[in-house]
Amino acid sequence: MTVTTTATPLHALNTRRSVKFLRGPAPKPDELEQILQAAMSAPDHGALRPWRFVVIQGEAIGKLADVALEAVKRSGDPRMTPEKEKSVREWMAGVPLFIAVAQKIAHDNTKIPEHEQLLATGCSVMNILNAVHMLGYGAFWSTGVGTYVEDVQNALGLDALDYRFLGYLAIGTPACAVPPANRPNFRDFVTEWTGPV
Ligand SMILES: Cc1cc2nc3c(=O)[nH]c(=O)nc-3n(C[C@H](O)[C@H](O)[C@H](O)COP(=O)(O)O)c2cc1C
């Protein structure tokens, strides 16, 4: 089932919603390139390009499940019960494409605060999520599957000394119908400032 897209760009932004349960097909190779290129248009103070992406697809997804779940169990996380492991494995087995997201830590940068680099990386992910939606696929950002377990980060080639691992984007075709999301009214989050009180 394809997500309803995008009569106009604003309609696309307003209809994006996260879709956890996904299946094939994944975006085609040229679509994946467009999706990743969209990430490059994120706002980025100092042009540090702090975002990094690791594409995981095909048989590598089963390997990731093995590596990550074993590492989570080794870490002693009590939430990783046999039932939880089974459900995570089933979820991952359905997803045709993961993109691991990381922020490259700019050790020698003294000008741009670290949180601004994190924000730039978050913006790059937002562009990915919107591009996925605009191409008619679904995506879900998850910090499950051992995101905060150092062995998992290392296994992905994201040495914790140099990278902050920010989770996975699961990407594919929605496994079932996606009803519209119930979004808040912007007025509840906005004030206008007209001068000092
Ligand atoms: C950094 C980040 C990590 C997230 N990790 C999880 C997660 O591990 N599990 C989860 O259920 N939702 C997680 N979410 C929330 C979902 O990705 C999604 O945003 C949420 O279900 C709301 O859906 P929406 O994007 O359509 O508003 C995360 C969101 C962000 C921004």
pLDDT at 5: 56
pLDDT at 78: 92
| pLDDT mean over 157-183 | 97
For ligand 1, atom 21, the nearest C-alpha belongs to 18
Alpha-helix runs per DSSP H in the chain: 9-15, 29-39, 59-74, 82-94, 114-134, 150-155
* CATH code linked to domain 18-173: 3.40.109.10
Q: Comparing 195 with 1, which gets the higher pLDDT? A: 195
Could you tell me which residues are annotated as the binding site for FMN? 16-18, 45, 141-143
Cα(143) to ligand 1 centroid in Å equals 8
Residue 165 — left, alpha, or beta (φ > 0 → left; ψ -120 to 50 → alpha)? beta
Please state, for a pLDDT cut of 90, what percent of the chain lies above it.
Answer: 95
Residue 194 in this model has a pLDDT that exceeds 70: yes
Average pLDDT over the chain reads 95
Please tell me the pTM assigned to this model. Answer: 0.96
| pLDDT mean over 49-67 | 98
Dig out the tokens for 100 from the structure: 């691991």
Q: 106-111 long-range contacts, Cβ below 8 Å, gap at least 24? A: 106/48, 106/50, 107/162, 109/46, 109/48, 111/46
Dig out the tokens for 42 from the structure: 């994120």
Rounded-to-integer distance, Cα 76 and Cα 97, Å: 28
Sign of the torsion formed by the C-alpha atoms of 149, 150, 151 and 155: positive
Residue 1 in this model has a pLDDT that exceeds 70: no
The ligand 1 site (C-beta within 6 Å) comprises 17-18, 140-144, 167, 181
**Band of residue 3 on the pLDDT scale cut at 50, 70, 90:** very low
| pLDDT mean over 136-152 | 96
Cα(121) to ligand 1 centroid in Å equals 16
Q: Comparing 171 with 197, which gets the higher pLDDT? A: 171
pLDDT at 7: 85
For ligand 1, atom 20, the nearest C-alpha belongs to 18
| pLDDT mean over 163-186 | 97
| pLDDT mean over 151-175 | 97
